[in-house]
Amino acid sequence: MLNLVRRLHFYIGLFIAPFIFVAALTGTLYVLTPQIENILYQDALFTQPQGQAKPLAEQIAVARHHTGPETKIYAVRPAPGATDTTRVQFVSADLAASESRSVFVDPYTLAIKGDMVVYGTSGVLPLRTWLDKLHSSLLLGDMGRNYSELAASWLWVAALGGVALWLSSRPRRKAKRITGRFAVSRHWHITLGILLLAGLLFFSATGLTWSQWAGGNIDAMRANLGWMTPQVHTNLHKTPATPSDPHAGHHNTAMVGMAMPDMDMATNATQSPPSVNAANGDWDKVLSAARTAGIGAARVELRQPKGEGRAWTVTEVDRSWPTHVDAVAVDPQNFAVTDHIWFDKFPLIAKLTRWGIDAHMGILFGLANQLILAAFGIGLCLMIALGYRMWWLRRPTAGQANPVQTLLTTWLALSLSARLATLLVAMALGYCLPVMGASLLAFVLVDLLRWRGQGRSNQGARNQLASISPGTKK
């Protein structure tokens, strides 16, 4: 069995590690840029307090005038602090899914401070939007998302396989001083793998929930088990609403499973709001009703009713620690709160989902979270580089290649029960993680081609030796 694990670990390192490296590097860049983004876009994000802030409705009216009367509001985020601007987000037919046009308004002077496209529930600005899409899809859209799913699908296998190989070969007594280029590289490759193991498993699991194919299966499983995140009901007739998508802040399509009360943006940010989205909505009254009902976080988002018989929603959007994601629905006729969800009442799985997503994005514990993720990302890149160095130092020449060093031959060497067990596991994983299954078939195909090619090469060499052996007529 160890030979099979060793061969699989080698193949993951040789063929999948480049994708893992890119995902780790781009993810590290993403989590390190919030402060840079604040500096780069400080004119739009911040202002100087000048007396009393104007009513929210006036701020929104200025933003509407700036964008034109035909524009439709997607959401409004009032200034969370005395030095912050208000965001008024509009939908537009020329924007991609999860994108909205955000107008930044000075709440004191009503000056337009900025006008740019923001992305996802997190409302990240252009710099981090670019990094987000680079990390998730290499800027290639849905096709590119297969790369990140490939990396996430195999990362946990590589990590656990590496630990299994280390446990089977570690010295029982205190090792002597490590010398030699290969030995030093191997030592640090193993050390980093052990130190980063918990993080590697965490990133693999949370990354899969964002993926295109495996994520859909995870979403279906969570729905069947009742693990979806609660969502406030906006239907005034009390029709149950669909659970939400906590990933909406960090993906570029209507992704899967881990979700938040913002699913409509993740599904299609370009859809036109219904006629009930009036130009002069009662923004201040709705916000006041939500505050009275217990929405206390500084960062909140208001959304108008989506149609007749629907309620406003006011949702907390502060996902740092402690987490503030409470939400209420407000009746547009009498401004009574018709429904609410409180995070402290969420099921445990929903809380873990929320925290896992936010930790993966580097926002749960602020700067400490960012630095920890950066350390893991850099460590993973270094571990991959050391793995390639080990391969380069011990790479076989053409004449040294062994045709039996393949996944298929190591699998055939197992007992019948072990072969059946591993086959069932592979089939189950291939079904749940389709990209892993397809790449595993590719591994086997590559092995078969190498085996046949090396076999022909060896046969040619034997024929040549036979032609010049003693007794051969010259």
Instruction: For residue 174, name the pLDDT band (cuts at 50, 70, 90).
Output: low
Instruction: For residue 398, name the pLDDT band (cuts at 50, 70, 90).
Output: low
Amino acid at position 137, single letter: S
Task: Compute the average pLDDT of residues 465-473.
Answer: 54
Query: What is the per-residue pLDDT for 264?
Result: 39
Q: Which of 261-270, 389-398, 422-431, 436-445 has the lowest mean pLDDT?
A: 261-270
Q: Report pLDDT digits (tens) over 1-57.
A: 899 999 999 999 999 999 999 999 999 999 999 999 999 999 999 999 999 999 999
Instruction: For residue 90, name the pLDDT band (cuts at 50, 70, 90).
Output: very high
Query: What is the per-residue pLDDT for 304?
Result: 94
Q: Residue 180, Cα to own-chain centre: how many angstroms?
A: 39
Q: Report pLDDT digits (tens) over 107-156.
A: 999 999 999 999 988 889 999 999 999 999 999 999 999 999 999 999 99
Query: What is the per-residue pLDDT for 122?
Result: 86
Query: What is the per-residue pLDDT for 466?
Result: 56
The percentage of the chain sitting over the pLDDT mark of 90, rounded to a whole number, equals 70
Query: What is the per-residue pLDDT for 288?
Result: 97
Q: Report pLDDT digits (tens) over 298-354.
A: 999 999 998 889 999 999 999 999 999 999 999 999 999 999 999 999 999 999 999
